[in-house]
Amino acid sequence: MADPARRRATYEDVLRAPEGCIAQIINGELHTQPRPAGPHQSVAAGLTDVLGLPFRRGKGGPGGWILLDEPELHLGPEIIVPDMAGWRRERMATVQNVAYFTLVPDWVCEILSPSTARIDRIHKLPIYARHAVRHVWIVDPLERTLEIFRLEGERLFLHATHADDQRLRAEPFDAVELDLSVLWADLEPK
């Protein structure tokens, strides 16, 4: 828990963060991290490939989504940058020309790195639940796993865990089968 005498971080702190860093305010504290490493970037590109056409464009799938990489979210006092986020088009019809988004996404995905796993799991998951993000995916490139969380009441609960080369239908994108092997295809063998 943050020291009450300690100054709460502000958006000005985010703007002053070193160039090339991702800056977030979580529970009143400024957190900075370097740009993600190769496995993280490769998995993010794979997710964009498998979700983009069927869900953004409606090619081979239902469409109906706005999907963004690393959007800056302002959720109350928290400033968070998930690796990916998605909004159903009935809630966000177009992408506005803004630096950050205040509309809570319907889905977020955090891709774990050794330096961010603790923050993603312990600090960001409760924030997503508090702001009613309905679906959260946590992807671990090194372990080759996908964890799917679903909002039930005021908490996010682990709904399913998948690994390696499984084929599955994962909420909220269960209209199309996802082949997990695509996510790890360009990574070094385990």
Mapping DSSP onto H, E and C, the string for 17-73 reads CCCCEEEEEECCEEEEEECCCHHHHHHHHHHHHHHHHHHHHCCCCCCCEEEEECCCE
Q: Is 33 exposed, middle or buried (0-12, 13-18, 19+ CB in 10 A)?
A: middle
pLDDT-based confidence at 4, cuts 50/70/90?
A: low
Kindly report, residue by residue over 140-153, the tens digit of the pLDDT: 999 999 999 999 99
Q: Is the pLDDT of residue 2 over 70?
A: no
Give mean pLDDT, residues 71-93. 96
Q: Which residue has the tokens 């977020």?
A: 108
Six token digits for residue 122: 């312990």
Q: Is 178 exposed, middle or buried (0-12, 13-18, 19+ CB in 10 A)?
A: buried
Cα–Cα dist 38/17, whole Å: 22
pLDDT-based confidence at 35, cuts 50/70/90?
A: confident
Kindly report, residue by residue over 5-34, the tens digit of the pLDDT: 678 999 999 999 998 889 999 999 999 888
Q: Residue 127: its pLDDT value, please? A: 97
- Quote the pTM value: 0.91
Kindly report, residue by residue over 120-133, the tens digit of the pLDDT: 999 999 999 999 99
Cα–Cα dist 88/38, whole Å: 29
Please calculate the CA angle 68-184-73 and round it to the nearest 5 degrees. Answer: 20
pLDDT-based confidence at 43, cuts 50/70/90?
A: very high
